């Protein structure tokens, strides 16, 4: 929840926990925030300093433990440090690459007082970076201008409203074909969608992958390989020249060795980039874009008929209906699992940070808590509908938070794509080993589950029920769970037709 607050506001979401398991239970959440660039501040307790080297209840070296998953973990060694440590922790979390920080207060320090006052509010703002050297900007402009087929590739740090504004401005000045990672979802507005070849990520078989494989120059904006390994999307790395635009230097490697780095404010550097206005109008570029756009939209025509009457709901059927049912500005959070592959490929988003997924650690269970966190920072809190989705396996990782959602009076509709299995593991096991193992779940009635928590439960067992139930659930003002029996018989297709290394 703290992570989604950070992702949506750009400022650290704060969480607090007691010593021992209180602190260690934060591990996965903090790891996810740090990997995926969400500013978070965790405040945890530890045993009194006099006990620091002895066995005692809940003794655990929190700084050692959490420093593997945080940008910094500071122990308050004496009370007069606390003001400085709060400031540093917030600044560090806020600075790009944003992530989690933590400070730990020994019980005896917590009971003492400090004579050092808190810092002024303005000290808490993140350090501000400016623009790249003129020579680098020039070099980047020149590379794009002279390219035959330059492409814009938007990554996780291109998904913030600030950067999206500059991305759109750039594309208006210089229309380039564009592709995005899952966490950049929403960067391309409707009026620019003719340039857009879709999202890329798990399995290199998407239209966007073909676009990248076609490019001779790729302008990477806020890209982080946590989302998508460069040795996958750029396997034939000698072919394309990369330009790296980010708050900080590239994670340089064999398949990601940019020719030019534009470091500093992504927005400011993008605003200064203006290589040419003619690229999209080149016939060969237009042709590729049109073909990819067609490939991208083709599924919609038959989406609803993928489900058979009396049969289970096909994922594309669901997605087409959901897309029609929601306004552009409804926030949708998607948990990990097969549901995330379908949704992040096919669900459209035209506004920044309206379609969220965990694409670095791929952490199961984020769907519902993120929907709660997003509800709580609405103004007024919980005033608008938030939609979340998960598989049945992923839902169980944090299902008890339904209690929080109800207690906080959220307005959330959570859809469960229920196949009674850990399907994303299952189909990859089948792909690798020809059989699956250890993936059976099932037997849980999620509609009844919802009611046990005082939420509203819905159930879709046949495809033809979907439209009406979805409408009813979305209209319900409060917390509701929709348990949908999903048709996962086509999932192996998600990993088919991997693009060969020598594509271009």
Q: Write out the binding residues for its own copies, residues 125-154 only, by CB under 8 A.
A: 127-134, 136
Q: Rounded to an integer, what distance in angstroms lies between the CA atom of residue 364 and that of residue 299? A: 27
422 binds its own copies (CB under 8 A): no
- Least Å distance between CB 322 and its own copies? 25
Q: Among residues 40, 93, 263, 313, which is the contact residue for its own copies, using CB under 8 A?
A: 263
Q: Among residues 364, 386, 424, 486, which is the contact residue for its own copies, using CB under 8 A?
A: 364
What CA–CA distances, in Å, run from 167 to 137, 220, 344, 355? Answer: 16, 11, 20, 18
Q: Among residues 110, 112, 116, 142, which is the contact residue for its own copies, using CB under 8 A?
A: 116
Chain positions 163 to 222 lying near its own copies, rule: CB under 8 A, are none
Contact 174, 275 (CB under 8 A): yes
Q: List phi, psi (to 5°) of 444.
A: -100, 130
- Least Å distance between CB 68 and its own copies? 4
- Least Å distance between CB 74 and its own copies? 5
Contact 177, 152 (CB under 8 A): yes
**Of 116 and 291, CB closest to its own copies:** 116
Q: Rounded to an integer, what distance in angstroms lies between the CA atom of residue 98 and that of residue 182? A: 18
Chain positions 235 to 254 lying near its own copies, rule: CB under 8 A, are 248-254
Map residue 205 onto helix, strand or coil.
coil
> What is the four-CA torsion angle of 228, 198, 214, 294, rounded to 10 degrees?
150
Q: Which residues contact 60 (CB under 8 A, 6 or more apart)?
A: 19, 20, 23, 24, 46
275 binds its own copies (CB under 8 A): no
**Of 81 and 189, CB closest to its own copies:** 81
Q: Among residues 189, 205, 257, 408, which is the contact residue for its own copies, using CB under 8 A?
A: 257
**Of 100 and 285, CB closest to its own copies:** 100
- Least Å distance between CB 397 and its own copies? 7
Q: Among residues 38, 209, 261, 487, which is the contact residue for its own copies, using CB under 8 A?
A: 261
Map residue 345 onto helix, strand or coil.
helix
- Binding segment for its own copies (CB under 8 A), chosen from 157-165, 181-189, 346-354, 438-446, is 438-446
Count residues near its own copies (CB under 8 A): 97
Q: Which residues contact 441 (CB under 8 A, 6 or more apart)?
A: 392, 393, 396, 420, 421, 422
- Binding segment for its own copies (CB under 8 A), chosen from 21-29, 210-218, 306-314, 491-499, is 21-29
Q: Which residues contact 234 (CB under 8 A, 6 or more apart)?
A: 212, 218, 240, 242, 255, 256
- Least Å distance between CB 352 and its own copies? 21
- Binding segment for its own copies (CB under 8 A), chosen from 1-9, 124-132, 145-153, 174-182, is 124-132
Chain positions 43 to 102 lying near its own copies, rule: CB under 8 A, are 49-61, 64-65, 67-69, 74-75, 77-78, 80-81, 83-85, 87-88, 91, 95
Chain positions 445 to 484 lying near its own copies, rule: CB under 8 A, are 445-446, 448-449, 451-454
**Of 180 and 246, CB closest to its own copies:** 246
- Least Å distance between CB 392 and its own copies? 9
33 binds its own copies (CB under 8 A): no
Q: Rounded to an integer, what distance in angstroms lies between the CA atom of residue 79 and that of residue 144? A: 54
What CA–CA distances, in Å, run from 70 to 35, 93, 401? Answer: 9, 9, 24
Chain positions 388 to 407 lying near its own copies, rule: CB under 8 A, are 396-397, 399-400, 403, 406-407
Based on C-alpha coordinates, what's the Rg of the chain? 24
Q: Is the peptide bond before 481 cis (omega within 30 degrees of 0)?
A: no
Chain positions 283 to 342 lying near its own copies, rule: CB under 8 A, are none
Map residue 439 onto helix, strand or coil.
coil
């Amino acid at each position: 929840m703290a992570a989604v607050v950070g992702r949506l506001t750009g400022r650290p979401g704060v969480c607090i926990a007691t010593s021992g398991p209180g602190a260690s239970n934060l591990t996965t959440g903090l790891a996810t925030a740090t990997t995926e660039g969400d500013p978070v501040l965790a405040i945890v307790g530890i045993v009194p300093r006099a006990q620091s080297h002895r066995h005692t209840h809940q003794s655990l070296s929190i700084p050692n433990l959490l420093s593997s998953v945080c940008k910094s973990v500071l122990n308050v060694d004496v009370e007069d440090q606390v003001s400085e440590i709060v400031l540093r922790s917030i600044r560090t979390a806020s600075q790009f690459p944003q992530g989690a920080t933590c400070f730990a207060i020994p019980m005896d320090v917590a009971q003492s007082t400090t004579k050092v006052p808190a810092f002024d509010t303005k000290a808490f703002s993140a350090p501000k970076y400016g623009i790249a050297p003129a020579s680098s900007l020039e070099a980047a402009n020149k590379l794009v201008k002279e390219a035959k087929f330059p492409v814009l590739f938007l990554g996780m740090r291109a998904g913030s409203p600030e950067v999206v504004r500059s991305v759109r401005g750039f594309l208006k000045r210089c229309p380039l074909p564009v592709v995005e990672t899952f966490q950049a979802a929403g960067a391309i507005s409707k009026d620019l969608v003719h340039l857009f070849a879709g999202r890329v990520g798990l399995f290199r078989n998407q239209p966007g992958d073909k676009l990248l494989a076609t490019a001779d120059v790729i302008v990477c904006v806020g890209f982080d390989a946590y989302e998508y390994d460069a040795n996958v999307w750029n396997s034939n790395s000698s072919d394309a020249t990369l330009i790296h635009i980010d708050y900080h230097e590239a994670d340089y490697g064999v398949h990601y060795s940019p020719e030019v780095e534009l470091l500093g404010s992504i927005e400011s550097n993008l605003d200064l980039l203006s290589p040419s206005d003619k690229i999209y109008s080149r016939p060969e570029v237009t042709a590729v874009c049109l073909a990819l756009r067609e490939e991208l939209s083709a599924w919609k025509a038959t989406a609803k008929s993928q489900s058979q009457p009396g049969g289970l709901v096909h994922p594309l059927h669901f997605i087409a209906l959901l897309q029609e049912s929601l306004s552009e500005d409804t926030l949708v959070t998607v948990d990990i699992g097969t549901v995330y592959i379908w949704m992040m490929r096919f669900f459209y988003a035209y506004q920044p940070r309206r379609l969220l997924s965990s694409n670095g650690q791929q952490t199961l269970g984020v769907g519902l808590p993120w929907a709660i966190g997003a509800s709580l920072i609405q103004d007024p809190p919980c005033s608008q509908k938030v939609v979340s989705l998960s598989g049945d396996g992923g839902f169980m990782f944090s299902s008890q938070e339904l209690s929080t959602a109800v207690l906080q009076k959220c307005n959330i509709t959570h859809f469960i794509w229920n196949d009674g299995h850990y399907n994303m593991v299952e189909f990859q096991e089948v792909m690798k080993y020809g059989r699956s193992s250890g993936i059976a779940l099932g037997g849980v009635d999620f509609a009844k589950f919802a009611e046990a928590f005082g939420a509203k439960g819905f159930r879709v067992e046949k495809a033809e029920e979907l439209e009406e139930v979805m409408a009813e659930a979305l209209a319900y003002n409060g917390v509701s769970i929709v348990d949908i029996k999903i048709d996962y018989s086509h999932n192996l297709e998600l990993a088919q037709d991997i693009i060969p290394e020598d594509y271009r």
